[in-house]
Amino acid sequence: MAGPLTVPRLPPHDPGTPALSVVDMHTGGEPLRIVLAGCPEVVGPTLLAKRRYMRQHLDHVRRRLMFEPRGHRDMYGAVLVPSELPDAHLGVLFLNNEGYSSMCGHAVLALGRFALDFGLVPAPPADAREALVNIHCPCGLVAAFVECEGGRSRGPVRFHSVPAFVLAADFLVDVPGHGKVVVDVAYGGAFYAFVSAEKLGLDVCSAKTRDLVAAASAVTEAVKAQFKINHPDSEDLAFLYGTILTDGKDTYSEEPTTNICVFADEQVDRSPTGSGVTARIALQYHKGLLELNQTRAFKSSATGSVFTGKAVREAKCGDFKAVIVEVSGRAHYTEYLM
């Protein structure tokens, strides 16, 4: 019997086009493509400067990784870079079908596991049950806590967010095709508009995804046109990332509340959206619907996957009252491509 077929480590390729090696993961069904090697140097004294540099000079890398034939319109990516923060183990730039986001919770959950398994953080003691990974995201430093055994990750991860706050609550936006709609805008490392899908004539749990996408996109464009987004720390963070349609069940319950996030260029998050859960927890706490350390479950209407979240302590962001939010989920490896 013939032995196994031997193949070269890399297929023939144009030497002028660097080969990118990646690890593919997912959290709650939402993909994450992490670049291991092959990305040109991302220049800049700060992480936000590196984000600007990559957008201006290396966007071809994002397009290669995200779009077909290597990706798809809902692919998500991460490029690891050095951080200027002394407490950070790594810095990260997030990639999507439109550009570069400021925060991504499902990616942080996956990157925590990846960083531990690939030796990007000091090995924890053999008897440790959790390892700390400090990840510098464009929005700030995020602490991930990776469940482990024998120094290796096991899957569950939680993170503590940057200060999350409500920019505007219960204001009216004129949405074409839907009239005046009550909208909230909250920040969880990225800004989202929040609307109960029922106000748009839809059931977030049963409506067709294309109808939810169309409605969410209409809200996003309306808010961008009628409301100015601002962030007290940086103009780089002052943009509306997308709209999250909810089932309207914001009052505390032990039952999961369902939502769907449509972000970037009508990209659909398969997970409950980590930064969206962060912002939604801040919104519920702001409205007096949730107490500190009261855990809620959030379900994705796209896949049924679940994250949990809770406000762990109060904080400030500029003049805004804010909370630090803990989000928990489970990350998985899917593929290692050289």
Structure tokens at 58: 């290396």
d(CA 68, CA 38): 19
Give the residue numbers marked as catalytic: 104
User: What's CA 331's distance to the chain center, in Å?
Assistant: 13
Structure tokens at 258: 């369902």
d(CA 38, CA 46): 21
Output the furthest CA–CA distance in the chain (Å, rounded).
73
CB-CB neighbours of 36 under 10 Å: 15
User: What's CA 74's distance to the chain center, in Å?
Assistant: 13
d(CA 313, CA 164): 11
Sort strands 152-160 and 130-137 into parallel, antiparallel or unpaired: unpaired
